[in-house]
Amino acid sequence: MARPQAPDYEERREAIVEKASQLFAENGFLGTSVSQIADACGASKSLLYHYYPSKEDVLYAVMASHVDTLEEVVDDIAARQLEPRQALRQVLVEFMQEYVNAAARQKVVLNDLGHLPEPRGRAIVAKQRKIIDFVQALLVEINPGLADSHGVQRALTMLIFGMINWTSTWYKPDRTLTPVEVADLVYEMAIGGSVRHSQSKCAD
């Protein structure tokens, strides 16, 4: 007979995801056992399996919770129909704030995506591509001179994500700039790089 669902079922699932994200970030997916996750949650392995049938299910929940939040940020900004420069800055600000608040989950997405079963891995990648494509489209709106240079568009976009995605490896909120200040630095470099490329093409 199946175990009945507790009134706080979703809260317990989220607590497992939070503990697991910290363990995965510290030890990697392969270096973390189900027993370790259960111990961190103060639960038995059998109880953990009641909420997540496998360790891969926990990993997917960690990644999906983070990427879904980033996707919601993009959807919200798109719905607000902001001016392109304002929209790009807002994406960077909200992403940086999310990366600081969910640094462990961000690290897990970066390091352990390859351990997801293929269909779920594709689902995460599809959401990531949607986010990347949104930022790339903003860059073209900001600088229409990029419209005929898809390779440069993608390079600039990936450079932006390269700057912000790995901030969890060095960023210390209590010792350095605020997330908004970091986002503004990235914004200024992104806009500057886009403009310089267009000027260079005009000179040619």
Q: H helices within the chain, ranges in order?
A: 9-27, 34-41, 45-51, 55-80, 84-101, 103-112, 118-142, 150-165, 179-203
pLDDT beyond 70 at 89: yes
pLDDT tier, 197 (very low <50, low <70, confident <90, very high otherwise) = low
Judge whether 104 and 25 are in contact, CB under 8 Å: yes
Distances 65 to 14, 56, 60, 79, 109 between C-alpha atoms, Å: 9, 14, 8, 21, 10
Q: Which two tokens stand for residue 67?
A: 């990427």
Cα separation of 95 and 99, whole Å?
6
Q: Which two tokens stand for residue 93?
A: 């600000």
In a domain, 180, yes or no: yes
pLDDT tier, 74 (very low <50, low <70, confident <90, very high otherwise) = very high
Interior angle at CA 188, CA 192 and CA 70, nearest 5: 120
Task: Annotate 173-183 with b (16+ C-beta within 10 A) or e (fewer).
Answer: eeeeeebeebb
pLDDT digits (tens, 9 = 90+) for 5-33: 667 889 999 999 999 999 999 999 999 99
Across the range 186-196, mean pLDDT stands at: 78
pLDDT beyond 50 at 152: yes
Cα separation of 98 and 111, whole Å?
18
Q: Which two tokens stand for residue 114?
A: 């390859």
In a domain, 85, yes or no: yes
pLDDT of residue 4: 59
Q: Could you tell me the CATH number of the domain that includes residue 172?
A: 1.10.357.10
In a domain, 13, yes or no: no
pLDDT of residue 202: 47
In a domain, 54, yes or no: no
Q: Which two tokens stand for residue 134?
A: 């949104």
Three-state SS at 28: coil
Tally of domains within the chain: 1
In a domain, 138, yes or no: yes
Distances 118 to 33, 69, 129, 177 between C-alpha atoms, Å: 21, 22, 16, 38
Cα separation of 140 and 22, whole Å?
37
In a domain, 174, yes or no: yes
Is pTM beyond 0.85? Reply is yes
Give residue 178's domain range.
59-203
Three-state SS at 26: helix
In a domain, 124, yes or no: yes
* Per-residue DSSP letter, 146: G
In a domain, 42, yes or no: no
Q: 175 or 138: whose pLDDT is higher?
A: 138
pLDDT of residue 106: 95
